[in-house]
Amino acid sequence: MEYRKLGNSELELSAITYGAFAIGGTMWGGTEKKDSIDSIHASIDHGVTTIDTAPFYGFGLSEEMIGEAIKSQDRSKVQLLTKFGLVWDGSNNGKGDFFFDADDNGKKVPVYKYSSKANVIKEVEESLKRLQTDYIDLLQIHWPDSTTPISETMEAAESLIQQGKIRAFGVSNYNVAQIQEAQKTIQVSSNQVAYSMLNRKIEEELIPFTVAENIGIIAYSPMERGLLTGKYFTDSKLKENDHRNGYFNQFDLQKVKTLVEELTSLAHAKEASLSQLVLRWTSLQKGIAIVLAGARNAEQAISNAKTMNFDLSASELEFINQAIAKIK
């Protein structure tokens, strides 16, 4: 595994990071607890020492399972990344930006983007308990909240750094102007944003800025929620309550299928899986510090970890980029 310094922080993170959205089960058609914990152990055993989660994932379940999984590990060798600012438990009393209604076993749960000072501190204390730790390596705001001044949110985060409860601070889904505003109050080490072969918008404005400012990009959804594994086109039937049923419709699926077929030939030549090839390409793009990869079982986790075991030559990267260009 390759370990990379995250932006201007002191953190050294695994280039492939365990993304713990899916193990929470929320919006992904359920989860199996034993498989999830096994996948975390397998990740760490194979060098994926960095784990990214959030309170919202499974309404606390993702953090709880991670806390249980790392009890047996040397905490100093695992990096925990979590978030705040998506409130689902009603504690915000209707304050904040309404985001969407999540589904909790058939029950509608309104989710708000809310990052007041009191809420930031409350959420971090709850996360520390669920994760069974006394510090978080990287705390991130999950989504911008237009109802709370950015300075108020950042002051809360800065106070948590001073107290030793967090080692570094990052943002998620922030644009350049929002990062610049945050930087007036706190050192911003990272920005976690969606990035994939099918979604490269951040290359236009955000990446030039973050590279110049030494802010690491944490890429989420590099596999486009499984679409780029190719399984969707062959054998996978999504459960009825899986949010991807609607999500995949934004793409020209015939063109994606062609891309998948072209890349599969290169993956075979590299003796790699298509997923490994996609993740490796993502890890080599300008400004990308770490890449999130989800795993619901040990087998998937080990496969993700092996992504960094091979390299891509200039001509192979050119082949991939030409295949991607046909999607436009």
Q: Which residue has the tokens 């509608």?
A: 108
State the DSSP H helix or E strand holding residue 293, giving kind and residue range, or none if neither.
strand 288-294
pLDDT of residue 184: 98
Provide the β-strand partners of residue 79: 50
Count other C-beta atoms under 10 Å from residue 67's C-beta. 18
Tokens coding 126: 């709850």
Nearest to 167 by CA among 291, 9, 14: 9
CATH code, 111: 3.20.20.100
In a domain, 253, yes or no: no
HEC secondary structure over 198-219 = CECHHHCCHHHHHHHHCCEEEE
Which phi and psi (to 5°) does residue 219 adopt?
Answer: -90, 120
Residue positions annotated with a catalytic role:
57
| 25 is a domain residue | yes
Cite the DSSP H helix spans in the chain.
33-45, 61-70, 117-131, 150-162, 176-183, 206-213, 244-247, 253-269, 274-283, 298-305, 314-325
- In a domain, residue 16? The reply is yes
Q: Which of 81, 57, 65 minimizes the C-alpha distance to 32?
A: 65
Tokens coding 222:
């590099």
Q: Are 68 and 31 in contact (CB under 8 A)?
A: no
User: 213 in a domain, yes or no?
Assistant: yes
Residues of the chain where predicted confidence (pLDDT) is lower than 50: 26-28
Q: Please answer whether residues 16 and 280 qualify as being in contact, where contact means their C-beta atoms are separated by less than 8 angstroms.
A: no
- Name every residue whose Cβ is closer than 8 Å to that of residue 149 and which is 6 or more positions away in sequence: none
328 part of a folded domain: no
Contact (Cβ atoms closer than 8 angstroms) between residue 294 and residue 21: yes
The answer to whether residue 263 sits within a structural domain is no
Note the pTM of the prediction, 2 decimals: 0.94
Q: Is residue 236 part of a domain?
A: yes
Which amino acid makes up residue 29?
A: G
- In this predicted model, what pLDDT tens digit does every residue of 12-61 receive, in sequence order? 999 999 998 877 664 445 557 888 889 999 999 999 999 999 999 989 99
The amino acid sitting at 284 is L
Residues 200 and 116: their CA atoms lie apart, in Å, by 31
pLDDT, one tens digit per residue, over 222-254 is 999 889 998 888 766 677 667 676 788 888 888
The CA R_g of the chain, rounded to the nearest whole Å, is 19
Query: Domain count of the chain?
Result: 1
| Residue 45, burial from CB neighbour count under 10 angstroms (0-12, 13-18, 19+) | middle
Q: Domain of 238? A: 3-248+274-310
Let me know if residue 259 belongs to a domain.
no
